[in-house]
Amino acid sequence: MPDDLNQLITRSQQGDLHAFADLFDHYQDRLFDVAWSILREREAAKDAVQETFLRVFQKIEGYRAEAAFETWLIAILVNECRGRLRRQKVRRVLSLESLRPERLSAPGQAAQNPAHIVSERMQRQSLWQLVNQLDDRLRLPILMRYRYGMAGDEIAAALGLATSTVYEQLSQGRKQLRQMRKLQEAGLPFGGSSGMTSDA
């Protein structure tokens, strides 16, 4: 973390409201992106980010850098979003539109012809539609790993899980996605993760 961010955190812990406002400005777009991916409603995501920063303001004095500050923020945000989903009893899903263009291409990827690009995007859209149908316990780790590139220990810290549990859920999610893809390609119906086993 840059020294200036560390200084902002330290000053915020000392009650400096201007420093906390700067922290908010630095992280709000990133947190909104995460919240929108979970809740899929712009206003709900904005409210979740605002509520998260209110909670952070109340808790920041106790932050001890046991996890990266951004991971700590995301953990609070995810809990806030989960609470909103429980209260609303509504399942929100990730769509292709929420994927930023830079996340769709590997670094250094060579230029491709338009037909190939369209084909790849259609395949990704189909895959994310399958991801949408996973239970949240599998969907969220996959979202955080493959969309945001978070490491296993960062996901574990954000979701309050053991790192081994995160890797197990990622493995189960990938296996279920492979099963769902096979059924899709065969033109057979499937009921999302509810009817899937964790076997390959």
Looking at the chain, the domain(s) classified CATH 1.10.10.10 span 117-191
Cα 38 to its chain centre, rounded Å, is: 7
Q: Which amino acid is at 42?
A: R
pLDDT of residue 135: 80
Instruction: Tell me the three state secondary structure of residue 136.
Output: helix
Looking at the chain, the domain(s) classified CATH 1.10.1740.10 span 3-88
pLDDT of residue 120: 56
Structure tokens at 103: 């996340």
Give me the CATH topology for the region 3-88.
Answer: Rna Polymerase Sigma Factor; Chain: A (1.10.1740)
pLDDT digit string (tens) for 31-57? 998 898 888 888 999 999 999 999 999
pLDDT of residue 132: 73
Give me the CATH topology for the region 117-191.
Answer: Arc Repressor Mutant, subunit A (1.10.10)
148 C-beta neighbours (distance < 10 Å), count: 16
Instruction: Tell me the three state secondary structure of residue 16.
Output: coil
CB 152 within 8 A of CB 174: no
Q: What are phi and psi of 91, to 5 degrees?
A: -95, 120
Rounded Cα distance between 109 and 106, Å, is 5
pTM for the full model?
0.57
Residues of the chain below pLDDT 50:
90-111, 192-200
Rounded Cα distance between 96 and 9, Å, is 34
Q: How many CA atoms lie within 13 A of 185 on its CB side?
A: 8
pLDDT of residue 97: 40
pLDDT of residue 2: 61
pLDDT of residue 199: 41
